């Protein structure tokens, strides 16, 4: 099934739009490690149309990030159309994506994100308004419904396709599930069977093998990776090899992992104007890179206290010295901070 914008891969792998995570440096890093398509973190239509400096700043992207989509959210069709027009004229991405899936309370209380799913008439009005305001393909990302009582992924998908959506991403959970339970991949398969436009599968992708299992089980045209990319941007290259039937590249050794983390940190430092604020915000990424390593609890404690990027290299160097000396032995890796993963994903 043809995508509404040029993409080279037979089964493209998307980096999901995630608030506070899928910023330009991380998008560029994931592109280097095999992501075929990236999407900005979701941005307020009101902030865009009013040209709020902080919001507009998050629209910046480099040519090495293409193909890229800008994701917008809101419940006012006029504002959504105005935002799409501004994004098209000023930034010229490959597509405009509408967020109908974010479950966060501060978004849905204004009927944005998955809050729109309570009124499918409004959903259609938003898609049509955005489509009228741009020549770019308009795509959507959504959930299986607002609640279990209103769970109807196929009905929602058909409604959005009829309103003009050119591609459809399904995170196969309801809003009330948030990130609990399991994504129902069988719902993605049902939507694939029902729609004429490409369907992108999303939800519970944690490993490269998960990418392959979802694609084989659902027949989706592409797979979107969200939290599974945290601290392991190489998941894209690994998954692509498996999709081609090739041996999976080895997971980077500790030294390589730290080198990738430092590369990421340098890109963030060059991109952001506030070095201290950027370093503090980057702590979550450092914690994810350290996840699963020997004595990771102590390593993450140190990394979560940094106030400058210069500190990171020293902490990594000290850890590698101690690792080579065998200081950690068979020390436990420490518990994963799953709450941090959930709060970052949109």
pLDDT tens, position by position, 214-235: 999 999 999 999 999 999 999 9
> Six-digit token pair at 308?
């400058």
Q: Which residues are annotated as part of the binding site?
A: 17-19, 71, 141, 171, 226-227
Residue 134, SS3?
coil
Cβ-based neighbour number of residue 76 at 10 Å: 19
The answer to whether residues 224 and 265 belong to one domain is: no
In a domain, 8, yes or no: no
Same domain membership, residue 218 and residue 129: yes
Residue 265 contacts residue 288 (beta carbons within 8 Å): no
Residue 174's pLDDT band (cuts 50, 70, 90):
confident
- 232: tokens are 């392991």
Point out the domain boundary residue: 175, 208, 243.
243
- Residues 147-173 pLDDT 10s: 888 899 999 999 999 999 999 999 999
| 168 and 96, same domain (yes or no) | yes
> Which residue is it, tokens 């010229």?
92
Q: Is residue 248 part of a domain?
A: no
The residue out of 224, 243, 262 marking a domain boundary is 243
Contacts of 190 (CB under 8 A, 6+ apart): 153, 154
180 pLDDT band, cuts 50/70/90, is confident
Q: How many domains does the chain have?
A: 2
30, 102, 116, 220: the catalytic one is 102
Both tokens assigned to 78: 């006029």
Instruction: Identify whether residues 159 and 278 lie together within a single domain.
Output: no
Confidence of residue 343 (pLDDT cuts 50, 70, 90): very low
Question: Catalytic site residue 102?
Answer: yes
Last residue of a domain, one of 211, 243, 275: 243
- pLDDT at site 108: 65
Binding site for FMN: what residues are annotated?
17-19, 71, 141, 171, 226-227
Of the chain, the percentage scoring pLDDT greater than 90 comes to 83
Q: What is the pTM assigned to this prediction?
A: 0.92
Question: Residue 111 above 90 pLDDT?
Answer: no
CA atoms in the 13 A half-sphere facing the CB of 253: 4
Q: Do 83 and 136 lie in a common domain?
A: yes
Reduced to 3 states (helix: H, G, I; strand: E, B; else coil), residue 69 is strand
Q: What is the mean pLDDT of residues 251-280?
A: 96
């Amino acid at each position: 099934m043809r995508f509404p914008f040029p993409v080279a891969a037979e089964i493209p792998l998307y980096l999901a739009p995630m608030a506070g995570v899928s910023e330009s440096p991380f998008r560029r890093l994931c592109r280097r490690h095999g992501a075929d398509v990236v999407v900005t973190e979701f941005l307020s239509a009101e902030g865009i149309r009013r040209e709020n400096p902080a919001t507009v700043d998050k629209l910046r992207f480099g040519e090495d990030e293409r193909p890229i989509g800008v994701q917008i959210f809101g419940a006012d069709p006029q504002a959504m159309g105005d935002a799409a027009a501004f994004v098209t004229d000023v930034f010229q991405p490959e597509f405009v994506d509408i967020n109908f899936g974010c479950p966060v309370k501060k978004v849905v209380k204004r009927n944005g994100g998955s809050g729109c799913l309570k009124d499918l008439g409004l959903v259609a009005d938003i898609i049509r308004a955005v489509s009228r305001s741009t020549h770019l393909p308009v795509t959507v990302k959504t959930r299986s419904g607002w609640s279990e009582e209103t769970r109807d992924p196929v009905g929602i998908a058909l409604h959005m396709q009829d309103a003009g959506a050119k591609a459809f991403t399904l995170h196969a959970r309801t809003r009330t599930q948030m990130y609990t339970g399991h994504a129902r991949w069988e719902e993605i398969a049902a939507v694939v069977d029902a729609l004429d436009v490409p369907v992108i599968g999303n939800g519970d992708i944690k490993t490269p093998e998960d990418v392959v299992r979802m694609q084989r089980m659902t027949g989706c045209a592409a797979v979107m990776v969200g939290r599974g990319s945290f601290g392991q941007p190489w998941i894209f290259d690994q998954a692509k090899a498996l999709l081609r039937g090739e041996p999976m590249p080895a997971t980077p050794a500790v030294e390589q992992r730290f080198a990738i983390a430092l590369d990421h940190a340098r890109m963030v430092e060059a991109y952001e104007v506030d070095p201290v604020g950027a370093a503090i915000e980057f702590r979550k990424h450092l914690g994810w890179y350290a996840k699963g390593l020997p004595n990771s609890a102590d390593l993450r404690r140190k990394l979560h206290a940094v106030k400058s990027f210069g500190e990171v290299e020293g902490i990594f160097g000290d850890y590698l010295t101690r690792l080579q000396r065998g200081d950690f032995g068979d020390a436990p890796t420490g518990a994963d901070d799953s709450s941090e993963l959930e709060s970052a994903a949109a």
